[in-house]
Amino acid sequence: MNSSRSRLPLSRSVILFLVAALLLVAQYAMAAEPVPAATPSTPVELVSRGHSGALRAVVVPPGETLQPHFAVREDVKEARWLALGSDTPAPASITDEGWRAPAQPGVWRLAPATQGAEASPHAVITPVHFDGSKTQLNGYRIGRWPARGAGRTGRYAPPELLIEVTRENQDFAVSEHFRLRNFLTKDQADVWPKYLVLDLRLVDKLELVLQELRTQGYPAKGLHVMSGFRTPQYNGPGENGRAKFSRHTYGDAADVWLDDNGDGQMDDLDGNGRVDVKDAEVLARAVDRVEQRVPALIGGYGVYRANRVHGPFVHIDVRGTPARWSKR
């Protein structure tokens, strides 16, 4: 027993020595790996990218201040606007209230005048003012919102700002998964420019739905937008299943389905071996969970079964009040 007691302190010493040696080796190994340099903030940054963090643009009326949407670094004293689809830059102006959006409609990126400085990866969309006195704009048929003669206000007041979409800027990504062209009215294919009402809160909500689906194990690479904005002349007076005061005509609604396999219809989300309205219900439940987490994006959703023209889909909007319906 005496000999075993005398060996115990030695064993502890050996163990402590080995632990210390291993820690020292680990420290050297960590030091050998390069530490990534801190990424400096860009000269121009989009402040809010929505609740999803996926937005890449903001809509600002022509000539209005960029604050609080964009942050421009203090050392940027001169800059120019670069329009998508145009080689001609526009001068950028700064006042006591900060930098201002371009005076012309378009999709713009702000580029510091410093040699070698890159333009912001995010964009400012300056819309066109539309007073509704005519039913067309530059040859593009729009029609009249029914609310114009009904004295409606608030969320049903006729939109006055329209995004001008050209052949050159239609592919601009307003968010990680959605482009301007995804929300255009499905008519007048050969008429350019086209005009669009788009509430970016809707885009933000669609991005959140994709994120929610990914947490459930679906790839959710993107949502197919069957119908986004509808001009009043396309929507009609409220026939063929289209509501007279459809949220589609206000730019805050979309009919969508998840199509990860690229076959042009809703995926089999519930795994029962067929595509039916139950798959749309899976998508609708994802919308529910998004609204529970982000009440600011609350709105309506409707579940629609397949017909001879299309498969099942879900209507999603951000009207500001909850609404639920099903067309089974």
Instruction: Given CATH 3.30.1380, say whether it is the number of domain 129-327.
Output: yes
Cβ density class 213-236: b for 16+ within 10 Å, e for less: beeeebebebbbbbbbbbbbbbbe
How far apart CA 265 and CA 257 sit, in angstroms, is: 7
Helix axes 200-215, 277-293, angle to 10 degrees: 110
Average pLDDT along the chain: 86
Which of the four pLDDT bands, split at 50, 70 and 90, describes residue 154?
A: confident
Dihedral Cα 222, 227, 228, 230, nearest 10 deg = 170
285 to 14, 202, 288: CA distances (angstroms)? 60, 17, 5
- Rounded to whole angstroms, the Cα distance separating 189 from 293 reads 39
Range scoring the smallest mean pLDDT among 15-24, 70-79, 152-161, 275-284: 15-24
Nearest to 48, CA basis, from 203, 227, 159, 228? 203
Mean pLDDT of 168-186: 97
Euclidean distance between CA atoms 196 and 169, whole angstroms: 12
pLDDT at residue 5 in the model: 42
- Kindly list the domain boundaries of the chain, sorted by start residue: 1-35, 44-126, 129-327
Instruction: Report whether pLDDT(186) > 60.
Output: yes
User: Scanning the structure block, which residue is given the tokens 């062209």?
Assistant: 181
How many degrees, rounded to 5, is the angle at CA 313 between CA 311 and CA 319? 155
| C-alpha distances in Å from residue 138, one per residue of 61, 96, 234, 243 | 19, 35, 17, 27
**pLDDT value of position 160:** 93
**Residue 5 and residue 105: Cα distance in Å, rounded?**
88
Does position 262 have pLDDT exceeding 60, yes or no?
A: yes
Q: Tens digit of pLDDT for each residue in 51-93?
A: 999 999 999 999 999 989 988 888 888 999 999 988 788 989 8
State the Cα–Cα distance between residues 140 and 93, nearest whole angstrom: 31
Q: How far apart are CA 87 and CA 97, in angstroms?
A: 28
Whole-angstrom CA distances from 247 to 99, 145, 165, 166 are 33, 11, 20, 24
* pTM of structure: 0.84
Residue 116, pLDDT above cutoff 90: no
> Quick one: three-class SS letters along 172-224?
CECECCCEHHHHCCCCCCCCCCEEECCCHHHHHHHHHHHHHHHHCCCCCCCEE
For a pLDDT cut of 70, what percent of the chain falls above it?
84
Find the mean pLDDT for residues 31-58: 70
Strand locations in the chain (E)? 44-46, 57-59, 70-72, 79-83, 90-91, 94-95, 98-99, 106-112, 123-126, 128-129, 136-137, 140-141, 161-165, 194-196, 223-227, 253-258, 300-304, 313-317, 323-327
Give tens-digit pLDDT for 221-257: 999 999 999 999 999 875 555 677 899 999 999 999 9
Distance from C-alpha of 235 to C-alpha of 147, rounded to nearest angstrom:
14
* Residue owning tokens 């190994």: 29
Q: Which two tokens stand for residue 72?
A: 């421009």
102 neighbors 81 (Cβ within 8 angstroms) = yes
Which residue in 205, 178, 187 sits closest to 57, CA to CA? 178
Tell me, what's the pLDDT at 100? 94
Mean local confidence (pLDDT), 165-191: 97
